[in-house]
Structure 1
Amino acid sequence: MLRLENIKKSFVQPDGKRVPILDVPSFEIAAGEQVVLIGPSGCGKTTLLHIISGITKPDSGKVFVDGTELTRYSESTRDRIRADKIGYVFQTFNLLDGFSALENVLLGISFGAKRSSPARAKELLEKVGLGHRLGNKPHQMSVGEKQRVAVARAVANRPALLLADEPTANIDPQNQQQVVQLIKDTCREENIAMLMVTHSMEVANQFDRVVQLDELNRVVADLRSTASAASSEGGDA
């Protein structure tokens, strides 16, 4: 369902120096599989999701989603592919304030070629426990309710893959487990593969497959190795 091959990404600093942030030799997720990627803030988790979704293009390497190589296409084509094949749950929800819960999900549907029906938008909101909030706008909902709308919107077009970027970061600890379980249950019922990134071990412990980013990303691994060597040398001195 998802396959990465030799993904590399760096950013250019104001002085022109390139700073590597990602070096991922390979990574795969099977159809319907649920995986969590864990690592501290600033280690490239969101950048990796942006590359997988086609929002950002890597410096080199290939991304395959549901048999389609995203990295070979232009930005506009990647946008169309993402609308059909990839759902995205953002850390900050990215809901439109002037639109109701139902309208936010319908807007997500409108970007895809599959053209899911308005009835599906209502059905999904009812499934995530918001059947009584269809007409409410984001400012009229709690943080947890807004996250539920975001989940419904992300799966509305029946994507092959769902990406979730720290979906519990803005939710109180008491409700974190419920939100993660909601995303997992929804993906399982819709047969959607899922990759979630987090820095929380409490979230990671809800998954059978946990991948440490410092083991996947050679940039982080090399930095840790260098720091460890420097520390050892200092200790010997």
Structure 2
Amino acid sequence: MTSSELWTRATADRYDAEETEMSSAAVLGPTLAFLTELAAGGRALEFAVGTGRVGVPLRESGVPVAGIELSEHMAAVLRRKIGEDRLPVAIGDMATTVVPGEFTLVYLVYNTISNLLTQDEQVECFRNAARHLTPGGRFVVELGVPPLRFLPPGQVAVPFDVSGHHLGFDTFDLVEQVLVSHHFTRDGDAGGYRRDNSRHRYAWPAELDLMARIAGLERERRVGDWDGSPFTEDSAKHISVWRKPEAAAGRA
């Protein structure tokens, strides 16, 4: 078991309803096109597949997909959408769980590598990706850039969403490199709010590149979004692609 926090049944059951924007065609279209191109006609493995926001439509588009998911509750929601025969899911953590076969693509979306709360576990996640990849296969990670430049001296919180139904802000432990995402969400029509929070280990792009090198992967590409826009000093996130060298035979 890793240090990742487990999603509860209640959180899993409301996840899709609270992430409708991330499931929109505007978001998923470029994501699916990007991943399909990198899969190159082979099999794809999604680490932290969740409720299948990306994995299910990617499979329905014709890419064979398997998944690894720590939360049985999240996997149960996915299973309502698609059968095990079409999208098999192994229950376990993405740093150590091994599934049968090899893949031309392993991917992690929507900041999920940050669910691993130690550097060692994130390194093992890269090694696990390399273990599953065919020579020439790619590992893809979508991860936000830590917004630390928005922290004035003495302040530890940065808001990321302020709307009529949701208030979200992150607090930072700069020593441990951990952030806590706080959510206050309007709960029904009664005027009350539900409070949730989750811990994440943030990592810089250069740190991920070093993790990739430890795992025997080479950086191939880094862009600012799924549409291929350039990654710049003002980018709020990055999509990074690392490749397993052709000469690397067998498993890492």
TM-score range, shorter chain: 0.3 to 0.5
Structure with the greater alpha carbon radius of gyration: 1
Determine which structure has the larger strand proportion and give its number. 2
Provide the TM-score with structure 2 as the length reference. 0.34
Provide the TM-score with structure 1 as the length reference. 0.35
> Which has the bigger relative contact order, CA under 8 A and spacing at least 6?
1
